[in-house]
């Protein structure tokens, strides 16, 4: 699975951050015949397990067709994922999930933020 973002114009990117919500299991279906799992997750994920990337790569592109080697690779570890990399000029960014684990919920991304060189990351500054 991968997620691709097209920026309005090329920028010198330095960081990506996002949250992965926690799977929530309802006691029973709200509507007869409806699934009993909410929060956007299906399958046999354990209740309270976030859909973070167990493994990922980040690639960038100027045209959305030609992609270079990953600018970042790693593993997420919970509901908040922060990926910092060497400043790289890009108009397109692709986050690819490269690892998962049995019974883990699928990758979920919310509050995605892309940071450019020279901008203040308000989440980490005093």
pLDDT in tens, 63-118: 999 999 999 999 888 889 999 999 999 999 999 988 877 777 778 888 999 999 97
The alpha-carbon radius of gyration of the chain (Å, integer) is 17
Greatest Cα pair distance in the chain: 53
With a threshold of 0.85, does the pTM exceed it? no
How many Å separate Cα 9 from the centre of its chain? Answer: 21
Strands 37-38 and 24-25: antiparallel
DSSP one-letter string for 46-70: PTT-B---SEEEEEEESSSS---S-
Domain range summary for the chain, segments of one domain joined by +: 2-116
Q: How far apart are CA 113 and CA 4, in angstroms?
A: 13
Q: What is the SS3 string spanning 57-119? A: EEEEECCCCCCCCCCEEECCCCCEEEEEEEEEEEEEEEEEEEECCCCCCCCCCEEEEEEECCC
Q: How many residues belong to the chain?
A: 126
Question: Which CATH architecture group holds 2-116?
Answer: Sandwich (2.60)
pLDDT, tens digit, 9 for 90 and up, residues 3-50 = 999 999 999 999 999 988 876 555 555 555 554 444 444 444 445 567
């Amino acid at each position: 699975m991968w997620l691709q973002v097209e920026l309005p114009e090329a920028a010198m990117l330095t960081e990506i951050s996002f949250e992965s919500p926690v799977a929530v299991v309802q006691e029973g279906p709200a509507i007869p015949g409806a699934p009993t799992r909410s929060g956007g997750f299906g399958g046999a994920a354990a209740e309270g397990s976030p859909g973070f990337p167990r493994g990922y790569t980040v690639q960038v592109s100027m045209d959305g067709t030609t992609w270079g080697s990953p600018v970042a690779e790693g593993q997420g570890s919970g509901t908040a994922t922060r990926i910092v990399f060497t400043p790289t000029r890009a108009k397109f960014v692709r986050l690819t999930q490269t690892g998962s684990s049995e019974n883990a919920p699928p990758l979920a991304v919310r509050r995605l933020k892309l940071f450019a060189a020279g901008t203040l990351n308000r989440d980490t500054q005093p």
